[in-house]
Structure 1
């Protein structure tokens, strides 16, 4: 099981420098709010997924007053696999493996897998469709690292095509514009259908796992449903057509719908068809979860989604991901805290942040490594927690 054996930071968030030697499968990071606990977990998440659940701007990740920062991690019990990510305030990233620069940062993906639980995850239920798309994208990235490249290429095409639509907004179609849009539509259809297929495939596998976790966490009282509502009208594909034949059908559908929407898109200046308009609909007992579920039920649904993600990543990769629990115990009642900690068991390496150590029940924290976080004049400081 790939696991984190050491983490080093420089000019990352609130840390001038920090080093954490991981000595146990469970690491509890304890400190007051604002001390820098979440920053440790966020650094691990970035190394594993190249993404943060807290920000999309690399500038937010670099310590104030600094031009750059970096994260380095050593993977495995022997620590022989060394990976790093260097961040620059002016933009651009550099991935490293075993002291060698990588030509693409996406080549870091797959070295370390993680699933992050955070109080911010309630936005999965209450937030806009983009939040659920981003969550599903993170799941697919854990399963298929090549997905990151597909997303990047599609995003670039989408921005270029939208810019073209805005530039010609209000104008009538001419031959030159038609040829340009035809070329964009062909490329977007090819990539968009591949994104649709991977998202749908992941959600079909997540759904039964999430349903089982919801039943467990609710005492068999609640049924959770995940529905994929693509931003393109797609014909159902049978199991036998999930390969290239089905993909060609979806590419044709996307290309035709882009062509049909062309005049309207010239008026509004944006693309109205494609995976950027996907929605993941969450239902509880057949009703829309964001309107029907109470705050407690919504927290339970998020927990079921995350545990389903853990289970699916483990099934597909054959490796248990590192779990990052960012102050989530405060969001759960005691019974669900116990269920979560028991579900984690010993098979997963886990980093957990909390303001109060007593929230971690005795049996679970007995063999844990406890780290204290405090602030001094230079930033956040890590130290072993005595008496834990």
Structure 2
């Protein structure tokens, strides 16, 4: 049984600049790091269909050039805490098992198991890398207690996956989402009583009977939301700070999908990019909720830079986020699994990992220790 206790906001007196209306009817990014005119209809058409669009970039046919996929080890021999990459932004987080409990709390972040990240089974971005296990295998092996969803885009919010989790776990699983996101979860058949909506800086204490406790805080990101042409920015996007309230006390930051700054030209030098306004939320997160033992940060689907930087961080941005949130270690995500309509023309699927290592080394961070990667299906044990 999962009990959820709402916690007071960390910043109750901070103006809610991300709200549009009182109460909010929609949401916005309230910082100079976001350019609201960046994604005009004209710019979208130019980037997607214009004469300067590059040729299609094929996915390598040799799987050895792509991210390795290994079967998930679901054994409980190590008490944890553990983090397993399912692919893209999907992770299984398992808090430390404390005696006499048989396990820790099992948390799924942005779980996506469908073949396409789209409202259709026959159209839309299709995964080019398989999951390391089926959803059924995961649900047979793991009692999922909590699902946290960063925002409503289909590569992070997969209704079919969430329906299957709900069908198996029913009242034994709880869903955490940003404000207004319960509308599409209830439309998928999930009981409203099993969903908690949070605003930025609000949190909950999760108590799983005979298992343990964890604290989850909803934190800002620079992004947007849309599940149809009719609901742009109606639902709040967010990241999450997760703290194990058991003996380990480990802290994990899950960034979901985010940008760091808006870059208007691909011709800017690194120094000129660094002079642009950056999203201040990450330093707030680090100061209020850090330092973190691990951060899960996006590194892919970020080209073309002058168009995507407003909503998607690249590797150099995520190194800055790593530093701002005060993480001891960060793993790159949001790559190697699926790509969208733009990235298939502008981004080789092998590029994000090369850039992630390059950005880490330029920042003087130790590769494989402070900054790194996981194979799909690989489990990282946080000791």
TM-score (norm 2): 0.25
Query: Which structure would you say has the larger Rg?
Result: 1
